[in-house]
Structure 1
Amino acid sequence: MSNLESALTIPELLAAAATRYGDAMAIEDDHVRISYHQLDQLRRQAARALLALEIEAGERVAIWAPNIQEWIVAAVALQSVGAVLVPLNTRMKGAEAAFILRESGASLLFVIGEFLGTDYPALLAGEALPELRRRVCLRGEAAGCLDWDAFLALGAEVSPAELVVREGEVHEHSLSDLLFTSGTTGKPKGVMTAHGQNLRIVRDWSAMVGLRAGDRYLIVNPFFHSFGYKAGWLAALMRGCCILPQQVFDVPVMLERVARERITVLPGPPTLYQSILSHPDRQDHDLSSLRVAVTGAASVPVDMVRRMRSELGFETIVTAYGLTEACGFVTICRPGDSAERVATTSGRAFPDVEVRCVDGAGNPVPAGEPGELLVRGYNLMKGYFNNPGATAEAIDADGWLHTGDIGVLDEAGYLRITDRLKDMFITGGFNVYPAEIEQVILRYPGVAQAAVIGIPDERLGEVAMAFLLPAQGQRVDTGAFLAWCREQMANYKVPRRALLVDAMPLNAAGKVTKDALRRLAGAG
């Protein structure tokens, strides 16, 4: 197997990490301690179990669970046999998860039994999932699911030699994952990326933020998101860090863990640091071990960055910008950048990644002028799964990805995101796509038209607000409507306000003008 620096596939990386880091801790999850050597053994055992279940190279395998050690073992095992990881958001309702299982054609689902009072396997009852052959419970038990220990035991049926053959067939261009991103059409699209490109960009990210062997990395960002997965546990394993999974964003618990477990690395959305800084009991906890912070995904106050340095003791604070279609990484600040630069920009492009801002005709705009952000480089997706039309729309003939974000590049190449062509907004670190919510709302009885915008929220950055045009002769109760929304969609998508309108403001093309709705929201 290759060494860590030259590993081109995730199984190669895990084998090399086991050789280099051996008995050092790879994961600490509650009372479970897993060394790098043990993690590699578990990976191989689970990979052989997947071969016993006849999982073929290229098959899609989904994981629907919070941040737990079994998530990582399942992911690296399926990637070791050439299968493709499909992470599912734990906030999804059954219909939302089922849509992605069908779209990806997933043949196997790893699922948590129960989490925060929700029976996850039961959410899929009644959903048509023709391709899904098997379900494995990572923790707990559920009808129709194989439990985790019984799954691992299947590995005994397959020889290590068989796994060696299968691993040898995985190469840098093999698909490693299929992360679903919601588009402006409201239909989530599967983004295909490969082993080699992910490892290359994660290697650069890890070096820039200064991850070190022995670092203790509290991963609060969900594993189902590229931040918690690629900049999270994959980066940690590459650099010999110890992963400490955190299942729920709970500030008192995090403060206690940072102090007790001597956490050194703590990335997250700005909400995370603002919550820590404003917590009344912060002074009661020893946070002196903290060294590295990485944030982004929303506007960052300069004062917050200064306070993170002076009051929380972070040595390295960087902001970054990325999107799923670029393996999750496009630009990043460099250690040593000023508080102003960290707060007001998303850094500059990664090595061998190009960014430019263009006008409506596709011509580059001068430094300091806003334009649509385009990205080109080895980190771009292989395309949208089973959707060549959408792929051609996103990546032009010259290989530039059109992000739909409006940005400004300064003379030094530092990027500032100023707006979003797609009307996407961010709630507590989660991307929210109005078109997706609007499609759900139109199923509500008595609603003829619906439009959604993001409105400011002190805690979460922005939250959804819905504008409803009732059908002729129909009455809509906004309280009942909001309650219905809470049952139908993940909580970060749920509108916090709803307003009935007599008519939707439309432009000449007959499209709803969201600017007019923002003015209406402000007046209301």
Structure 2
Amino acid sequence: MRGDLEMRADLEYGSIPRLVRTAAERHGPREAVVEGRTRVSYAELGKRVERAAAACIAAGVATGDRVAVWAPNTLDWIVSALGAVTAGAVLVPVNTRFKGAEAAYVLGRTRAKILFITGTFLGTSYVASLRRAAREGTGSGPLPGLPHLERVVVLSDDAPADFDSLRDFLAQGETVPAATVHTRADSLRPDDPSDIIFTSGTTGHPKGAVITHSQTLRAYDVWSELAGLQEADRYLIINPFFHTFGYKAGIIACLLRGATMIPQPVFGVETALANITAERISVLPGPPTLHQQILDHPARPGHDLSALRLVVTGAAVVPLALVERLRSELKISTVLTAYGLSESSGIVTMCRRSDPPETIASTSGRAIPGTEVRVVDPSGRRMAPGDPGEIHVRGYHVMSGYFEDPAGTARALTPDGWLRTGDVGVLDADGNLRITDRIKDMFIIGGFNAYPAEIEQLLARHPDIADVAVVGIPDPRLGEVGKAYAVRRTGSALTADDLIAWSRREMANYKVPREVTFVPELPRNASGKVLKRTLRKGR
């Protein structure tokens, strides 16, 4: 880790706005953000953020007010979000895959005062979608169903009636002096909330984890140090900004190191390959499926990917073959895996650069500095190394709680500060954590606990399997059995009987899927998580 205590980012900067201002001064002429033909230096980014902050202050944003951003990965997202936080607001990133009613829930739940929204994305008008969801109510603002939402700013030069265009909104801040912006930013304390990150909502209504400035700064300084992120790096940010992997391991990490951000709004392998080549991308975090698609794409040999040097990924299933191929075929010197969740500021464990490929592929690494990890049974008793149980986490980066939800907070946090993750895992003798499943995904077959993620990891070793998910389905004799949804590799003629027969040779009988359905791709949310609820409905 970096030097002494005084070098900790939370102590050095104190808040995200002071990080932005320092980065603008320290890295002034360096490229901060590249978006198509637009190239913005750190100095220019600092000016744009302060202009957005001035507009927020002019619009009446007070310290602690919530400001939301519902938009894909773009320069406008970066400027709007950092501008809101610089004005003292608590940022509420909204999932770009949400429909209008889902977004309205988050906006209403947090009583967001301002919303920055994209126009049309992936063929959907977000403005129209939100209007439909919030047209009925008693509010006097642009959306009656969201009475606390005073301004909606469309991230374009034009906007519908009752909404502001970004250009007009920014112009309204021109009367706010820079000194006022600096005073507002400097009034923020390290323990003030910086953002409310909502869970993915795969098991019900999403919940908002409240994270502070100091938690974010310290955690992603640690992440950057363990990953080896450098000033000269050029970082393709495909992970969505509404998620900690995109916002904090992306934007915040780059600000901490002075690296260049290249946001990509949607994952398309052809676009990613083009960006990696044209922009000499050196850092490419993302889920394993992203890297697998790049490796397998027929056009890959025609692209120069030689600048790539750092990959950070995370999932219950990271095939060893993927790690080895990234190192051997793409000559990527650093491939790491990590584990985190919104409630822990997005990070809990991480592999180290000196770890062997087997550790990187089969575990999510060890607890980051300043963090405790334990595995317990339902009574809270610690499990021995090698025995599965619920993962509990305690450390400086664990949320203060869910936003205005004391009951949910009490369920998630123990009285002595441990976060109940709801994930099942195993610690080895060296403290490396292996995620075996979500507690709710586990099923019991004939009295045996079956962990889908463990079975998925075994199935992923089959040479003809590109992607796989396992769920429990009812069985009249055994209670439940496993069903696999699998994606074949291109050109494979693998059958369900073939895969089941192979499974009987490779795993204990109770783990063997009784049914296999082949699908073109697995349903995933924008964070890359498999939507097992969708698979269960389709059985």
TM range (shorter): 0.7 to 0.9
1:387 aligned onto 2:393: no
The one of 122, 126, 133 aligned to 2:150: 133
Could you tell me how far 1:88 is from its partner in structure 2?
A: 0.8
Corresponding residue number in structure 2 for 1:164: 182
CA spacing shift, 1:183–1:220, aligned 2, 3 Å: closer
Pairing 1:437-516 to 2, within 5 Å after superposition: 455-458=484-487, 493=531, 495=534, 498=537
Could you tell me how far 1:459 is from its partner in structure 2?
A: 7.7
1:155 aligned onto 2:169: no
Corresponding residue number in structure 1 for 2:289: 271
Partner SS, residue 67 of structure 2: strand
What CA distance in whole angstroms lies between the structure 1 residues aligned with 2:411 and 2:394?
15
What CA distance in whole angstroms lies between the structure 2 residues aligned with 1:148 and 1:303?
46
Corresponding residue number in structure 2 for 1:192: 210
TM-score, normalised by the number of residues in structure 2? 0.79
1:338 aligned onto 2:351: no
Could you tell me how far 1:455 is from its partner in structure 2?
A: 5.0
Partner SS, residue 407 of structure 1: strand
CA contact (8 A) 1:57 1:82 kept: yes
Could you tell me how far 1:170 is from its partner in structure 2?
A: 0.7
Corresponding residue number in structure 2 for 1:123: 129
The one of 55, 64, 68 aligned to 1:58: 64
1:76 aligned onto 2:82: yes
CA contact (8 A) 1:269 1:298 kept: no
CA contact (8 A) 1:81 1:170 kept: no
Could you tell me how far 1:491 is from its partner in structure 2?
A: 12
Supply the AA of the counterpart residue of 1:238: L
The one of 222, 235, 246 aligned to 1:204: 222
1:174 aligned onto 2:192: yes
Once the two structures are superposed, residues 277-314 of structure 1 have per-residue CA deviations (whole angstroms, 9 ceiling, x without a partner) of: 11111111111000000001240000110010010111
Corresponding residue number in structure 2 for 1:246: 264
Supply the AA of the counterpart residue of 1:21: H
Supply the AA of the counterpart residue of 2:155: L
CA spacing shift, 1:129–1:367, aligned 2, 3 Å: same
Could you tell me how far 1:20 is from its partner in structure 2?
A: 1.2
Corresponding residue number in structure 2 for 1:403: 421
CA spacing shift, 1:492–1:409, aligned 2, 3 Å: closer
Supply the AA of the counterpart residue of 2:152: R
Corresponding residue number in structure 1 for 2:307: 289
Bigger CA drift: 347-356 or 122-131?
A: 122-131
Supply the AA of the counterpart residue of 1:139: S
Partner SS, residue 168 of structure 2: helix
Partner SS, residue 124 of structure 1: helix
CA contact (8 A) 1:48 1:163 kept: yes
What CA distance in whole angstroms lies between the structure 2 residues aligned with 1:356 and 1:85?
31
Supply the AA of the counterpart residue of 2:111: G
What CA distance in whole angstroms lies between the structure 2 residues aligned with 1:163 and 1:88?
25
Could you tell me how far 1:116 is from its partner in structure 2?
A: 2.1
Could you tell me how far 1:175 is from its partner in structure 2?
A: 0.6
TM-score, normalised by the number of residues in structure 1? 0.82
Supply the AA of the counterpart residue of 2:81: A
What CA distance in whole angstroms lies between the structure 1 residues aligned with 2:125 and 2:376?
48
What CA distance in whole angstroms lies between the structure 2 residues aligned with 1:491 and 1:379?
22
Aligned CA RMSD, in angstroms, stands at: 2.6
What CA distance in whole angstroms lies between the structure 1 residues aligned with 2:119 and 2:28?
32
Structure 2 runs not aligned, ≥5 long: 1-5, 135-144, 443-451, 457-468, 472-479, 490-522
CA spacing shift, 1:288–1:189, aligned 2, 3 Å: same
Could you tell me how far 1:256 is from its partner in structure 2?
A: 1.5
Supply the AA of the counterpart residue of 2:206: P
Once the two structures are superposed, residues 213-258 of structure 1 have per-residue CA deviations (whole angstroms, 9 ceiling, x without a partner) of: 0210000100111100110111011101000000111101111111
CA contact (8 A) 1:372 1:404 kept: yes
What CA distance in whole angstroms lies between the structure 1 residues aligned with 2:323 and 2:259?
25
CA spacing shift, 1:185–1:341, aligned 2, 3 Å: closer
CA spacing shift, 1:282–1:412, aligned 2, 3 Å: same
4+ runs deviating over 6 angstroms: 424-427
CA contact (8 A) 1:181 1:189 kept: yes
1:104 aligned onto 2:110: yes
1:224 aligned onto 2:242: yes
Could you tell me how far 1:185 is from its partner in structure 2?
A: 6.2
Supply the AA of the counterpart residue of 1:370: P
Once the two structures are superposed, residues 304-331 of structure 1 have per-residue CA deviations (whole angstroms, 9 ceiling, x without a partner) of: 1001001011111000000000000000
CA spacing shift, 1:297–1:492, aligned 2, 3 Å: closer
Pairing 1:423-434 to 2, within 5 Å after superposition: 423=441
The one of 20, 23, 29 aligned to 1:23: 29
What CA distance in whole angstroms lies between the structure 2 residues aligned with 1:28 and 1:459?
36
What CA distance in whole angstroms lies between the structure 2 residues aligned with 1:114 and 1:332?
37
The one of 318, 323, 331 aligned to 1:313: 331
Q: Say how many residue pairs are matched.
A: 450
CA spacing shift, 1:198–1:305, aligned 2, 3 Å: same
What CA distance in whole angstroms lies between the structure 1 residues aligned with 2:529 and 2:217?
32
Structure 1 runs not aligned, ≥5 long: 435-450, 461-484, 500-520
CA spacing shift, 1:77–1:454, aligned 2, 3 Å: farther
Corresponding residue number in structure 2 for 1:466: none
1:415 aligned onto 2:433: yes
Supply the AA of the counterpart residue of 2:389: G
What CA distance in whole angstroms lies between the structure 2 residues aligned with 1:456 and 1:334?
32
What CA distance in whole angstroms lies between the structure 1 residues aligned with 2:156 and 2:484?
38
What CA distance in whole angstroms lies between the structure 1 residues aligned with 2:115 and 2:484?
36
Partner SS, residue 364 of structure 1: coil
What CA distance in whole angstroms lies between the structure 2 residues aligned with 1:355 and 1:4?
22
CA contact (8 A) 1:56 1:82 kept: yes
CA spacing shift, 1:140–1:422, aligned 2, 3 Å: farther
Once the two structures are superposed, residues 431-457 of structure 1 have per-residue CA deviations (whole angstroms, 9 ceiling, x without a partner) of: x9x9xxxxxxxxxxxxxxxx9x99534
CA spacing shift, 1:71–1:29, aligned 2, 3 Å: same
Once the two structures are superposed, residues 174-230 of structure 1 have per-residue CA deviations (whole angstroms, 9 ceiling, x without a partner) of: 111001115686121111000011100100000110111021000010011110011
The one of 372, 377, 385 aligned to 1:367: 385
Could you tell me how far 1:4 is from its partner in structure 2?
A: 8.8
